Amino acid sequence: MYRKEIKVIDCTIRDGGLMNNWQFSDEFVKAVYHALVEAGVDYMEIGYKSSEKSYSRTENGPWKFCDEKDLRRIVGDNKTNLKLSCMADIGRIEPTDIAPKKDSVIDMIRVACYVHQMDKAIALAEHCMDKGYETTINLMAVSKVNERDLDEALNDVAKSRVPTLYVVDSFGSMYCEQIELLARKYFKALPGKTIGIHAHNNMQLAFSNTITAIIEGCNMLDSTLLGFGRGAGNCHTETLIAFLKNPKFKLRPIIKVIQEQIIPLQQKIDWGYHIPYLITGMLNEHPKSAMEWMESPEKYDFVKFYNQMTESYALE
C-alpha cells in the first residue's frame, strides 16, 4: 500500500462540477483547497480550461474556465506543496487559451480525448509541456475501444514526449480483471512512462479497481471527496487516503471538509451509486441516460428504466 511514487489527484471540483455546471461558491472551493493542503494530497484538479466558443459563462461557473483571476482569488500564489491541475477537452479549447506556466498557478494540464483524437491530444499535451506544464493524457471511454485502435493510440503515445497516460473507466463498467489487463498493456507499450487510473463507481467498483491499478504499478490515482462526481461518482478520496497508509497523508482534514461542506451539498445534489447507474455500467453505456432518469419524476421506477435500457440487448 505504501509506495512513495504514488500521487493522489483529488478531482472534486472538476468532476463534481459536472453535476452543477461548476457553480460552486468561493467558500466551498476554498474549503476543499485548504483541506487538501492540510491533508497532504498531491494535486487538486480545480476545474477545466475551456474556450468561450464552446461553453457559455452564464450557464457555467468559473471552474469550467479556470481564469487566472478566479484561481488566485481562491489560492493566492499557492505557496503550498499542493499542486493545481485542470483538464482540457480536445475540441473544446484553443492552444492560445493556455497561458505560459510562468503566468499561471496551474501546475498540470490533463488532456482528455477519445481514441480517434489521440493525435490532437498529443499535440496539445506537448504544446502544454512546451509552455512549462506537467501533462497527462486521459484516454476516455477505453471500455468501448477496440484492440487495434488502442494499440495504434498507445504506439503514438510511446513515440511522444507525453509522460503519463491514464486508464479511464468513463462508464464505470470495468471489473478488476479488465483494469489489470489494461494496466499491463499500457505498461508494456509505454516503457518508462507513468500510468494513472480514473475510475467511476457505477457498479460500486471504483475503489476496488483503483486498488487493482495500484497493485499493477499505477502511480497517478484520481479520487473525489465522498465520491462527488458525474452520476455515480468516483473513487472516494477518504477511502483511498485511509488505504494508502502513507504518513504524509492526514485523514482528519478530509473528514472535516466532508462533514462541513460535502454532506450539506449532497442534500442538494443527488450523486453516487443508484440502480440506474448500475444498469448503464453493466451495459457499458454512457451514464447520461441514467442521469436524465434520475432527474425525472420516475427516478425510482428502476424496473421501467431497466426494461427501457435492455430492450435492444435482449436481456432478461
Torsion angle of C-alpha atoms 184, 189, 193, 196, degrees rounded to 10: -40
- Cα 231–chain centre separation: 12
Average pLDDT, the chain: 96
In angstroms, the CA 42 to CA 302 distance is: 39
Phi, psi of 44 (to 5 degrees): -120, 115
Residue 111: name the closest of 131, 248, 293, 103 by CA.
131
pLDDT tens-digit series, residues 33-60: 999 999 999 999 999 999 988 899 999 9
Query: Could you report the per-residue pLDDT of 54-104, keeping only the tens digit for each?
Result: 899 999 999 999 999 999 999 999 999 999 999 999 999 999 999 999 999
Instruction: Let me know whether 166 and 307 are in one domain.
Output: no
Q: Which of 295, 195, 298, 219 is nearest to 8 (CA)?
A: 219
CA angle 107, 188, 209 (to 5 degrees): 65
What confidence tens digit (pLDDT) does each residue in 191-224 have? Answer: 999 999 999 999 999 999 999 999 999 999 999 9
Domain-embedded: residue 92: yes
| Residues 6+ away with beta carbon under 8 Å from 314 | none
Cell match 462533514: residue? 259
Share of the chain above pLDDT 70, in %: 98
Query: 110 and 241 in one domain?
Result: yes
For residues 163 and 84, membership in a common domain is answered with yes
Residue 167 lies in a domain: yes
Q: Are 184 and 39 found together in one domain?
A: yes
Q: Which residues contact 19 (CB under 8 A, 6 or more apart)?
A: 228, 229, 230, 269, 271
Same structural domain for residues 296 and 254?
A: no
Q: pLDDT of 219-263, one tens digit each? A: 999 999 999 999 999 999 999 999 999 999 999 999 999 999 999
| 133 part of a folded domain | yes
Domain match, 149 and 190 both: yes
Instruction: Indicate whether 244 and 280 sit together in one domain.
Output: no
Count of the separate structural domains present in the chain: 2
Q: Is residue 37 one of the residues assigned to a domain?
A: yes
Where residue 314 falls among pLDDT bands split at 50, 70, 90?
Answer: low
Is residue 13 located within the same domain as residue 143? yes
Q: Quick check: is 166 in a domain?
A: yes
142 falls within a domain: yes
Helix (H) or strand (E) holding 315: none
* pTM of the predicted protein model: 0.95
Q: In terms of domains, do 98 and 166 share one?
A: yes
Give percent above pLDDT 90 in the chain: 96
Q: Are residues 103 and 241 in the same domain?
A: yes
- Is residue 2 one of the residues assigned to a domain? no
- 16-30, 106-120, 129-143, 299-313: which has the minimum mean pLDDT? 299-313
Would the pLDDT of 313 be above 70? no
Structural domain boundaries, residue 284: 275-313
User: Is residue 152, in this structure, part of any structural domain at all?
Assistant: yes
**Same domain, yes or no: 47 and 93:** yes
**Rounded Cα distance, 175 and 182, in Å:** 11
CATH number where 231 lies: 3.20.20.70
Gyration radius (Cα) of the chain, Å: 19
- Alpha-carbon distance of 33 to 45, in angstroms, equals 10
- Judge if 151 and 284 occupy the same domain: no
